[in-house]
Chain A
């Protein structure tokens, strides 16, 4: 509440000045352009060699086709393995490959008949063709939009932002379907404005109420994989980042604000720029009017009576804001503001927040507003000036983040996707990179990220290239004692994300949605919206932050209880009626055939001989065939394999 009003005072000041037509000595610096730094006089490249950017950008390799890059990656990994005397795991079976790649690209499990046909297909290029087919499917765009929804909202500091999840997902789905470059998507996320329920790209700012420090932290973590927020209060303990550098990054975002739309519904918000003009003047900061009331009045006072009234304000916006200023400052209620009244106006409690500039807090003296920071980008050391317009700052930030000369932008994305697909990353955790960290197989990471940049951050190209490597297509196996770090000698099983599991489960059960049977959850109270759709409820139970290291995702007791005892699953796995199990039991009177069908249905593979033996023995001891099969289906759904991408 008080935050809004603080920002409001700032806005009033800016708008008043605009409305009054005050001439301000602030030129909006033009955006940083990679090939024309000199065009922007206010942006001084602070590095000793200003042209370094272009040199690096200039030596970006020529884009190579997928096959070439996949082969080079395998050659590099094979050489590493040979040097480490590690024999790679064998090529995965067709069944395992199909299940793995279908989960990775399309977010669900393949249908049993697709598994069978794939195995029978003699085409030597069938794996590559399947990769291409899945990348063109609608499920690909849906799957990855769901992934990014979880990445972005799992760390939201404003839970109300959950109301815009659907819109964000839809927007991401379009991006993936159109295969827009990752740089374009990132730019949109960093420069978005507008209604949060209409513009999906506002998600990053909504999720953190437009707070400059939170936005800077998350932008750095998500787009660069660098956890610079550790430097918010002190220099980074393990990396070279300085405290100033974090706050210089935050200084790109002080003028973004989240505004409630009073005229619309209770949860209508907009992400807005709070300078709305050629620049903010000296009164653009909260408290500034109260500090120099005479000067402020002089700017507005047309009739020179040392008071300012509504008549002296030019346009509608100015008048609206002036009225608000009156409410706060007009002590004697005479409809005019004097210097004394402005001086006595309540000053915002927390200096710095809601300000037009970012201030690095003074740790010694919490009462002090701190040091005003000029925006600067810690990676390339490009500096800009405070006073810039919001959109200029954010566009500059987007350029700097996504520049091909910024290696971390490509590396963070490549590391994340590689890790998601192979189960282990070059850097781990996947969002903790940096120049002083030692990645695994650095040559592979460099090759892949430079090619990714050379392909203009073509996301499908990246998926296709990784999926076509031998490294991706190896079977899982237990870690060798010599493998202390990831070697990519074998695939590593990973836990399915909630959406993937939901789609797998509904597909296995042959239903569109896990409806009914579960009571709607009570809302968490004021302002919080709970997604009560069956998928939303399932995600509330099974969801996790995809940036979490795999070994920390261990499942929960209520998740187990759901698979173990829920009446819903109990009824959908009955051996009678219209269930898929009932159909299998009807269609296949031979137990071997029925078991094979069941395994294909639930785990997308045929049972091993050993498993068949266990199942036969179990069926022999069961009271009847139906009950025996129900128990086996329960076991397969409750197995760790069902929850795992193998």
Chain B
């Protein structure tokens, strides 16, 4: 069974057809002797569909202002000087500075009725990554790690979860789902490239293996076995031809220009390359959204980095036929106050904020929920963090109620509570 499983995953990743899948598994199916081809297909059909899915989280750290992104209130005190612009979808207007994403609006849905209670950066950031508020007794896995555990490809050379910038880790799910952090998108990550030629690298690994035997025999058996497994996993990454996925040089200059020559733009392009190569979950962080002062100028600068990258990512995924299988979510830990403070800033506001979501079966060109006219509260169709996470699970065909066991034996659902926003899939 395990053998089937791995083959099924590999094949789907490589985009083989059902017919070639059948052909490829026939030998092992016969060897197993218990399942007919039809059984294998029906057992694995669901699995197969899931295996192609992936997610890109564009995380706006600091809490982006909804008024200066996708829920502008022009002409109102609370709206400030920010103007609204039209988009490719008639009737949907977003803040100025987002003209690229405006053009992609037919593929992007907006949620304007997100709401939460956490107004503290760290706690809200943790919650927006794990679905749970922090607790001393358990380190919750980030949603990306939980998803990778469900639908990731264990035979993959590249890590299942990659993060451009720091993020919340795999918690109690452990090392296999720990996000692999990339500091400088576009470059091969730190320490991945050996500084010696590969023949010498292999010689070193060879003598290391030989020398480990003595300790293994003296009682370090388990320690040595675990160590060797981890070294083998790392070696596979280091020597994998897929490492070149991290290098953006092979992409056409025109495309790189569309993403933008910024950390965030490069991160978005890297994210597209990684999901194509089989990575399940990629997070790209854009920081500095904590605009307690000079909100309007700072939001303008940030939109200049974010808008091209986000829009190019959606368009590029679509051009390459991967948008249906890739969920893209743009969100931060909370929104900003309707009141503009004396430093022309906006403060933390979890009561109503917004998100943008595209791909992964989401129907674009629509707005879910609304804030009140002055932006003080949710007007209709409130969406909680749990609702948002359940929606993500639905898109990726992951059961949100699946329980993982914490180290002290407490079962924890991937998402506790919440309902998917069905309209998104309409």
Which residues of A are at the interface with B, using a C-beta cutoff of 8 A? 1-2, 89, 155-160, 207-208, 214, 217-218, 221, 227, 229-230, 238, 349-350, 429, 432, 475-478, 490-491, 493, 495, 518-519, 521-522, 524-528, 545, 548-549, 552, 554-558, 560-562, 564-567, 570, 608, 610-611, 614-615, 618, 621-622, 627, 631-632, 634-636, 638-641, 643-644, 646
Contact = CB atoms under 8 A, between A and B. Distances in A.
A640 B220 contact: yes
B186 interface: no
Contacts of A476: 218-220
A622 to B, nearest CB: 8
Given A1-B119, A157-B123, A635 B204 contact: yes
A565 B224 CA distance: 20
Interface stretch (B9-17, B102-110, B134-142): B134-142
Contacts of A634: 204, 208
B170 to A, nearest CB: 10
Given A217-B136, A493-B223, A640-B220, A561 B192 contact: yes
A157 B62 contact: no
A614 B207 contact: yes
Nearest to A204: B136
A493 B224 CA distance: 10
Contact of A631 (B159, B200, B227, B408): B200
B183 A522 contact: yes
Contact of B207 (A217, A432, A631): A631
A110 to B, nearest CB: 18
Contacts of A611: 211, 214
B384 interface: no
B195 A570 contact: yes
Given A548-B407, A555-B175, A635-B204, A493 B234 contact: no
Given A157-B136, A639-B215, A478 B62 contact: no
Interface string B386-418: 000000000000000000000111100000000
B196 to A, nearest CB: 8
Nearest to A555: B230
A558 B159 CA distance: 11
Interface string B201-245: 001100110111011001111011011101101100110000000
A525 B119 CA distance: 15
B135 A214 contact: yes
B215 A230 contact: no
A556 B175 contact: yes
A233 to B, nearest CB: 11
Nearest to A216: B136
A218 B136 contact: yes
Contacts of B185: none
B287 interface: yes
Contact of A565 (B122, B135, B220, B238): B238
Shortest 9 CB-CB contacts between residues of A and residues of B: A476-B219, A640-B227, A561-B191, A157-B134, A560-B234, A155-B136, A477-B219, A635-B208, A526-B290
Contacts, number: 191
A23 B408 CA distance: 49
A570 B201 CA distance: 12
B7 interface: no
A525 B287 contact: yes
B122 A159 contact: yes
Contacts of A548: 407
28 contacts: A1-B119, A155-B137, A157-B135, A158-B134, A217-B136, A218-B136, A218-B137, A229-B135, A230-B137, A432-B408, A475-B218, A476-B218, A491-B219, A493-B220, A522-B165, A522-B183, A525-B290, A548-B407, A554-B230, A556-B230, A557-B175, A557-B230, A557-B233, A560-B234, A561-B191, A639-B208, A641-B220, A646-B220
A638 B134 CA distance: 35
Nearest to B224: A640
A546 B369 CA distance: 45
B210 A156 contact: no
Contact of A1 (B208, B288, B348, B408): B348
B56 to A, nearest CB: 20
A557 B234 contact: yes
B212 A640 contact: yes
A599 B13 CA distance: 46
Contacts of A217: 135-137
A525 B233 CA distance: 31
B220 A644 contact: yes
B321 interface: no
Interface in B121-164: 121-123, 125, 134-137, 139, 159
B121 A527 contact: yes
B61 A554 contact: no
Nearest to A635: B208
B327 interface: no
A631 B206 CA distance: 10
B238 A525 contact: no
B250 interface: no
Given A562-B191, A564-B191, A565-B192, A524 B166 contact: yes
Interface string B237-258: 1100000000000000000000
B239 to A, nearest CB: 11
Contacts of A566: 190-191
Nearest to A530: B166
Contacts of B219: 89, 475-478, 490-491, 493, 646
A491 B215 CA distance: 14
Contacts of A646: 215, 218-220
A549 B407 CA distance: 8
B105 to A, nearest CB: 29
A518 B191 CA distance: 10
Contact of A561 (B61, B234, B347): B234
A558 B181 contact: yes
Contact of B214 (A477, A491, A608, A638): A608
A550 to B, nearest CB: 9
